[in-house]
Chain A
Amino acid sequence: MVDRKNAILWRIRDQPITISTDWIWEQWSYDDHKLMFGLLFSLKSFTAKMDPTNVEKGNLGVPQLPGQGCSFHSFQTNTYKLSFMESPSGIKIILVTHPKTGDLRESLKHIYNLYVEYVTKNPLYTPGTPIRCELFNTSVDQYVRTLA
């Protein structure tokens, strides 16, 4: 989970439904953060640029204003599938799963709801800092297990 300033807030090794990509989370270094950010940022930029319904397109690589452009929701390789959701407030939720998993957009929304319930409503949590909240961890963990 990534916030509006693109700082990593929280991550999970979602064992039950990932098979091949566990290593990504384990060896997650500063460079990997950068890579992930670059990947998502460019993909968003490209998808907006490709949009045939919109005539006013910014230049590639220029950050977009809220409400501008469009975005992708997942991509798939032969070994994994990455699902992505960005809320208008800039919270990004990324799930890496087995390539055969179906549409996860509803699940991402559900996780966003969990985030609201357990993180933003937690008075001890300072917005923008890494999430260290047991209740959130366990509830996401439980939820992710039901998806498997």
Chain B
Amino acid sequence: MAPVAPRSGDAVFANVERVNAELFTLTYGAIVRQLLTDLEEVDEVNKQLDQMGYNIGIRLIDEFLAKSGVSRCVDFKETAEVIAKVGFKMFLGVTASVTNWDADGTSCSLVLEDNPLVDFVELPDTCQGLYYCNILSGVVRGALEMVSMKTEVTWVRDMLRGDDAYELRVKLLKQVPEEYPYKDDE
């Protein structure tokens, strides 16, 4: 039996159930707004968004793997390409490009030209420290952790802060092998 070729992000995106983009954008906006009211501190909101994203990511990964048919990636470079081309397309309907590799291939940037989360957003002066899309970095971190890659994901550029694109820096910290659940002397 020939292995099933991974489906492209477009193919998966065309098949999954979708919700109205505006509904999605506004719902996310409402969540951020509520968090700002509840937590008061912008830093806390960033943290909370990241944590929420992480919780989404650790579940999302299984859906991603099951629907896309992607098998194991050989190296981190392939992983980054898959996230950018298949992952973002599948769940957000946009593709990212992968650039700025460092010399030893452990960190790269995912650049998003277009971001459906921020369609109606302007950051007020009081929230200048807010990473509005911090949930995305959490999702990427959570999803990668489930495929045994500990990563650190940070925002480098943000259009809401006057940059020309969204840039997520993904840094591979280490790969964790499968764990032994039992101790030797048991």
Mark A residues whose CB is within 8 Å of B.
Answer: 4-7, 34, 37, 41, 62-67, 87-91, 103, 105, 109, 112-113, 115-116, 120-121, 127
Contact: B182 with A89, CB < 8 Å? no
Q: How far is the CA of A113 from the CA of B70 in the complex (A)?
A: 14
Chain A positions within 8 Å of B181 at CB level: 5-7, 37
In the complex, which residue of chain A has the Cβ closest to the Cβ of B4? A109
Contact: A64 with B66, CB < 8 Å? no
Contact check: which of B72, B75, B149, B179 meets A63 at CB < 8 Å? B179
Q: How far is the CA of A113 from the CA of B67 in the complex (A)?
A: 8
Contact: B177 with A63, CB < 8 Å? yes
Contact: B1 with A103, CB < 8 Å? yes
Contact: B148 with A66, CB < 8 Å? yes
Chain A positions within 8 Å of B63 at CB level: 116, 120-121
Contact check: which of B61, B73, B179 meets A89 at CB < 8 Å? B61
Provide 7 A-B residue pairs closer than 8 Å at the C-beta atoms, listed in order of the A residue: A4-B148, A5-B181, A6-B180, A65-B175, A88-B71, A90-B147, A91-B62
Secondary structure class of chain B's binding surface, majority of residues:
loop
* Given A5-B181, A37-B181, A37-B182: A66 touches B62 (CB 8 Å cut-off): no
B149-186 vs A, CB cutoff 8 Å, 1 = contact: the mask equals 10000000000000000000000000101111110001
Contact check: which of B1, B59, B66, B74 meets A67 at CB < 8 Å? B74
Contact check: which of A62, A89, A103, A105 meets B146 at CB < 8 Å? A89
Interface centre among B60, B75, B147 (most CB of A within 10 A): B147
Q: How far is the CA of A52 from the CA of B134 in the complex (A)?
A: 45
* Given A5-B179, A66-B175: A90 touches B148 (CB 8 Å cut-off): yes
In the complex, how many angstroms separate the beta carbon of B64 from the nearest chain A beta carbon?
9
Chain B positions within 8 Å of A34 at CB level: 182, 186
Q: How far is the CA of A114 from the CA of B63 in the complex (A)?
A: 10
In the complex, how many angstroms separate the beta carbon of A70 from the nearest chain B beta carbon?
10
Q: How far is the CA of A121 from the CA of B59 in the complex (A)?
A: 7
| B:70-118 near A, CB below 8 Å | 70-75
In the complex, how many angstroms separate the beta carbon of B34 from the nearest chain A beta carbon?
18
Interface centre among A34, A66, A87, A105 (most CB of B within 10 A): A66
Contact: B178 with A89, CB < 8 Å? no
Contact: B75 with A67, CB < 8 Å? yes
* Given A7-B181, A66-B175: A89 touches B149 (CB 8 Å cut-off): no
In the complex, how many angstroms separate the beta carbon of B1 from the nearest chain A beta carbon?
7
In the complex, how many angstroms separate the beta carbon of B53 from the nearest chain A beta carbon?
14
* Given A37-B182, A113-B66: A89 touches B147 (CB 8 Å cut-off): yes
Contact: B178 with A87, CB < 8 Å? no
In the complex, how many angstroms separate the beta carbon of B58 from the nearest chain A beta carbon?
5
A4-B146, A63-B178, A66-B175 given; name 10 further pairs at CB < 8 Å.
A5-B179, A5-B181, A34-B186, A63-B177, A63-B179, A88-B147, A90-B148, A91-B62, A120-B60, A121-B63
In the complex, which residue of chain A has the Cβ closest to the Cβ of B73? A67
Contact: B179 with A66, CB < 8 Å? no
Q: How far is the CA of A113 from the CA of B62 in the complex (A)?
A: 9
